Chains A and B, each alone.
Chain A
Amino acid sequence: MSLRSPIGRVLGLGAAKEGVSHWWSQRVTSVALLLLGLWFVASLLRMANFEYEAVIAWIAGPVNAVLLLLLIATLVYHSLLGVQVVVEDYVHHHGLKIGTMLLLTFAHWAVAALAIFAVLRIAFGAPGGAG
């Protein structure tokens, strides 16, 4: 016999009110990062050198730029999901927990914005970027 209400069972959200969305997002980003991560490592290994011109030319390639953007977004999202679990496990003071997560969220979005902007700037060949 289940004590859960029919509506609760249908929604499947449980006590956390989010259901398995956090857990599932972590898995989806893991699979994506498995592929994107291996692509990035293979790309680094295929790069003849890390001179400025070579790196700019590589980033500016349309496929490379888009895959880099996907890599950045997935990495940052996966990282944020991960550190959230760590903070929830080890930071017990409620206020401190919220404050820490707030800071980490801001930091992650800032890193994502910077990295994405950098790739776009190179890909669109802004002066100073590809110049």
Chain B
Amino acid sequence: MESSTTRKRPLSPFLTVYRWQYTMALSILHRVTGCALSVGLLLFAYWLVAAASGHDAYQTARDFFAHPVVRILLIGFSFAFFYHLLNGARHMTWDTGQGLERKAARVSGWIVFLGAIVCTALFWLLIMRNAGGAA
């Protein structure tokens, strides 16, 4: 027996029916970076817990964070942070009803994406300079 709620009804159009546009990628990237940052919270907490556990535990954490694979992850997390922050500001501009026109939304999309790359690069340049390459 099929009721009106269990019958296969057409759903609202999903991603597959639309022509691909970079603004879609940027939109999904907000969610992806958000999820990544939720995972990154674990590393942030680990850093604090290690510091609170004493000198040896902190040194272990420093070695862990200095590992090349982890370093690449950290660069990824920092990009996710800057992207999510800038794109979040973009979203909140939209919430006020501003910048929703197609042209404005595309321009702000580029600003956010390139801005996140620039912020990530600057952040690591400054970190490396401060620590003399041994952050």
Chain A residues packing against B (C-beta within 8 Å):
27, 30-31, 33-34, 37-38, 41, 44-45, 47-50, 52, 55-56, 59, 68, 72, 75-76, 79, 82-83, 86, 108, 111, 114-115, 117-119, 121-122, 126, 128-129, 131
A45 and B123 form a contact (CB under 8 A)? yes
Contacts of B95 in A (CB 8 A): 27
A-contact bits for B42-65, CB 8 A (1 contact / 0 none): 101100110111110011001000
Cross-chain contact of A45 among B38, B89, B127, B134 (Cβ < 8 A):
B127
- Give the size of the chain B interface in residues (CB under 8 angstroms): 33
Nearest Cβ in chain B — how far from A86, in angstroms? Answer: 6
A115 and B38 form a contact (CB under 8 A)? no
DSSP class of B's interface residues: helix, strand, loop or mixed? Answer: helix
CA distance A45 to B78 in the complex (A): 13
Q: A27-B95, A34-B85 given as contacts; is B54 within 8 A of A111 (CB)? A: no
Cross-chain contact of A27 among B35, B45, B62, B92 (Cβ < 8 A):
B92
Which of A30, A76, A129 gathers the greatest number of chain B CB atoms within 10 Å? A30
A34 and B89 form a contact (CB under 8 A)? yes
Cross-chain contact of B52 among A38, A49, A79, A119 (Cβ < 8 A):
A119
The contact sample of 12 A-B pairs, CB cut-off 8 A, is A27-B92, A34-B85, A50-B131, A56-B51, A75-B44, A76-B41, A82-B35, A83-B35, A86-B35, A115-B49, A118-B45, A129-B52
